[in-house]
Structure 1
């Protein structure tokens, strides 16, 4: 092993850079749906040893730049494999957008990798042969991952935290510390071979750090097994929900001539009655994001049809477009959720707050439109973001936290909703991405939010994966990808408030500061 590490450290040029890219690409496979997280016990040490190689520059500036390049190439490989499926969206209207496909596939990973480049470059300030360099890398990378989820509207999708929460036992720790702390710990845990195979001078410290890290991992697994073994809270009456997965191809969804059959399919699936799924027992029907391909509340006939389809005392929650017209002829369009009573009355609405850049709106729209760019959505003027994070309320179903599409990726923003929700509803349309890993990654993010909050997540997706998820992140029912059908099941009970829900990212900030101070103190003593 020492010989292998020495060979890595003396790599330079394209060999170092090529290995960094490959290691990052392989590391991406640690995330769901493949969930091959043991790969990180190879890939993270490779990153550290390649950074060792890059740190051997003639001066600090050269070393920092070389380490940043290694970090960027590792991150570029990681995010390229993580987000390759975004290219499928540009093939829906290939005649208009296929030219942008290479840019989308390459530019997004390249931009996200800059955060990892900054983490590795900043680590040059404290880099040494000591095992403490793994801790410094963990501190820098977790801080930059928090920034990746925040800067320029943020994109906290993917990373080491989903890998460390890739199965139901390991993900229970999210209820205690949340995803940012999981990222911090993941670098330490998967950097464990660096602790064990350090040079002789630092062997004792390395084994001490490896022991502490190993014990923390055992504690994570023990807590996960314990939490899963706890009985669910009892309910006096469990409401029954029906999720409709119509499986409408994106290329067909917004054609004017398809409006009737799409709406009729939704109605038919809402009224479907069988011995296994009796419609009269349903308390709430849920349709996916933008399920209705027209402005629903402007169509009295459609509202009347919905009223005839719903059994008495059965509500409907559906994704739909909503618009407001101004007196001068302009209009503002929102990507919304409608909450409806059984008589077709609209009780409440929620407008999506966090829109997808370039998908639902163009940043600096006037500038980008001037050079021929437009957003992917069929709404050519783009959507307007909602301003009010509000809960939906129902006398029988309790209080509902509504999230549209990738809003469920943002743990911090879920925390920002008002308190008091009993469950989370997530409506989405992943038809853009076909039978790729994207919709399955999206489902796993919903599981993570369920564990963090202790709230069940009810997920209705146009083409899948629709699911009923418990507050422990366990999938109780699901409909496979690219399948038409319904899920009918009882609404799981919510769990007691989690530690992470109570304290949020204060936990991450406190642990980060403690680890920084402790590591700096040990470094001073060693010097």
Structure 2
């Protein structure tokens, strides 16, 4: 009887398969899995690829496959929210292109790292400076252009359970991305025999990173001020797919009006566009009756709806308005979700679906970046509407001036709860960066009270109607991140990459990469 013998995969195929698996494994660092200790696999995998790839093309392909594994798994929920039409391409082109675009960064990083290593750059410079520097610059670039989508940054995985999370107030989520990729690269060097000469420096660098994180836990960048404020968060649980149905709209208007009038909290908050109509389409005297009751009872209510932009180009704002004792104050959403709230490059993408989330919001236009401050409960508030909280550096001056932060969101996504888990982690990072407490209320969840270190104090169960009462302790002060923003991590990342390419000595110091003859 013959026995089947499994032959080993050819060298390049094995490299590419392991890179893909490594990317998927790294994705488990993100919510909802929360295995933050897997995030350094990013730097480890790219260092290993740069060392093992026989030619630059193999490094490029392996780095790209790592990215496909990482971002394909992390952002797989994008596919579930798009209703297929008569053509498969129309249903899946957008998320596929986005994932491939994200994956281009690790592909290029692996190629550059291998090339630099072959030219004689030391292994410590490649793994500890070049790879994390380029990774961080790649994540930073996602904040810009009409296609901006800075979702899935690796640094978010460290909020709040990681021992490195205390670095959020100093270097922010982008800086944490640099640190975890660097940590992974250094760990990779300890597994390579030909880098043994650099092991002492590598161990010292790892110890310094961990020690810096632990030491930062003892620093309080902000301090409590005034008395705690009682807050009530109303989670109506109207899924995006039903939200604009006429019957659901009427039910939402009635349910939220009753809950707002019944609240006795000094501040009561609704989710983003909880009232899914244009302002002038709301029932007559709807807002006026709420405003009158809140003013008489010395309370503030935060409601949200759409309103005409008044611009020559048309469209409407996604807006929030404070009504009550603090006076009427309106805030328009400034950073919109591409393809969800507007369609960029319509000339090129006109054949693709305009409403990938199944909602009618693609006529939304952004409000001015600089808008008047918001006051609720007698305290200045940094108010962010959903996607805005991914642009921390651009809005950090508001966080510095505020006593607490409020995020209102609409994270309902057909077929997957992953977005709500990942967006909650973003909010935890924002609270830790600012050193201020944060209240988050979302249509279907997560609605939560988060302390100034990014830890969840209380949360309402998702995917059901809920009322969450919380006491928020305002704080004052400025963290290094709210003072300097992404200038710190981006500047350091650029410097690290340049130093690695230009300045770090011959291969004899760290040993040339391990070359394996492929069959």
Tell me the TM-score normalised to structure 2 length.
0.86
Could you tell me how far 1:174 is from its partner in structure 2?
0.9
- Report what 1:275 is aligned to: none
Q: Equivalents in 2 of 1:321, 1:144: separation in Å?
A: 34
Could you tell me how far 1:399 is from its partner in structure 2?
1.5
Could you tell me how far 1:78 is from its partner in structure 2?
0.3
Could you tell me how far 1:301 is from its partner in structure 2?
2.8
The answer to whether 1:479 aligns with 2:479 is no
The answer to whether 1:75 aligns with 2:67 is yes
1:149–1:72 CA distance, 2 compared to 1 (3 A):
farther
Residue number among 335, 354, 357 corresponding to 1:374 in the alignment: 354
Q: Equivalents in 1 of 2:204, 2:352: separation in Å?
A: 57
Q: Equivalents in 2 of 1:209, 1:44: separation in Å?
A: 14
Question: Per-residue CA shift, 1:216-275, capped at 9, x if unaligned?
Answer: 212202322x24xx6984444222211100001222210123322111111222244xxx
- Report what 1:177 is aligned to: 171
The answer to whether 1:204 aligns with 2:203 is no
Judge conservation of contact 1:174–1:448 (CA < 8 Å) in 2. Answer: yes
The answer to whether 1:23 aligns with 2:5 is no
Q: Equivalents in 2 of 1:105, 1:324: separation in Å?
A: 29
- 2:463 is paired with a residue whose SS is coil
Alignment of structure 1 residues 83-482 onto 2, 5 Å: 83-91=75-83, 100-128=90-118, 130-135=123-128, 136-167=130-161, 169-200=163-194, 202-224=195-217, 226-227=218-219, 233-272=223-262, 279-280=263-264, 282-299=265-282, 300-307=284-291, 310=294, 312-324=297-309, 331-341=314-324, 347-365=328-346, 368-369=349-350, 371=351, 373-376=353-356, 378-379=359-360, 382-394=363-375, 396-415=377-396, 417=398, 420-433=401-414, 435-482=416-463
* 23-32 vs 211-220, which moves further: 211-220
Q: Equivalents in 1 of 2:28, 2:147: separation in Å?
A: 26
Unaligned runs of 5+ in 1: 1-6, 58-62, 273-278
- Report what 2:514 is aligned to: none
1:452–1:391 CA distance, 2 compared to 1 (3 A):
farther
Could you tell me how far 1:322 is from its partner in structure 2?
0.8
1:231–1:216 CA distance, 2 compared to 1 (3 A):
closer
Judge conservation of contact 1:334–1:352 (CA < 8 Å) in 2. Answer: yes
Question: Per-residue CA shift, 1:284-329, capped at 9, x if unaligned?
Answer: 11101110022235543312442466461111112210114579xx
- Report what 1:3 is aligned to: none
- 2:131 is paired with a residue whose SS is helix
Judge conservation of contact 1:131–1:206 (CA < 8 Å) in 2. Answer: no
Q: Equivalents in 1 of 2:281, 2:127: separation in Å?
A: 59
Could you tell me how far 1:506 is from its partner in structure 2?
2.8
Could you tell me how far 1:75 is from its partner in structure 2?
0.7
Judge conservation of contact 2:137–2:494 (CA < 8 Å) in 1. Answer: no
Q: Equivalents in 2 of 1:366, 1:380: separation in Å?
A: 19
Judge conservation of contact 1:435–1:482 (CA < 8 Å) in 2. Answer: no
Judge conservation of contact 1:391–1:399 (CA < 8 Å) in 2. Answer: no
- 1:385 is paired with a residue whose SS is coil
Q: Equivalents in 2 of 1:32, 1:221: separation in Å?
A: 23
1:391–1:334 CA distance, 2 compared to 1 (3 A):
same
Judge conservation of contact 1:425–1:458 (CA < 8 Å) in 2. Answer: yes
Q: Equivalents in 2 of 1:133, 1:168: separation in Å?
A: 25
Q: Equivalents in 1 of 2:274, 2:374: separation in Å?
A: 21
Question: Per-residue CA shift, 1:411-468, capped at 9, x if unaligned?
Answer: 2222265852222221111112455221011011011011111222211100000111
Q: Equivalents in 1 of 2:207, 2:285: separation in Å?
A: 63
- Report what 1:276 is aligned to: none
Judge conservation of contact 2:341–2:362 (CA < 8 Å) in 1. Answer: no
Could you tell me how far 1:338 is from its partner in structure 2?
1.3
Q: Equivalents in 1 of 2:18, 2:230: separation in Å?
A: 52
Judge conservation of contact 1:242–1:486 (CA < 8 Å) in 2. Answer: yes
Judge conservation of contact 1:123–1:140 (CA < 8 Å) in 2. Answer: no
- 1:403 is paired with a residue whose SS is strand
Bigger helix fraction? 1
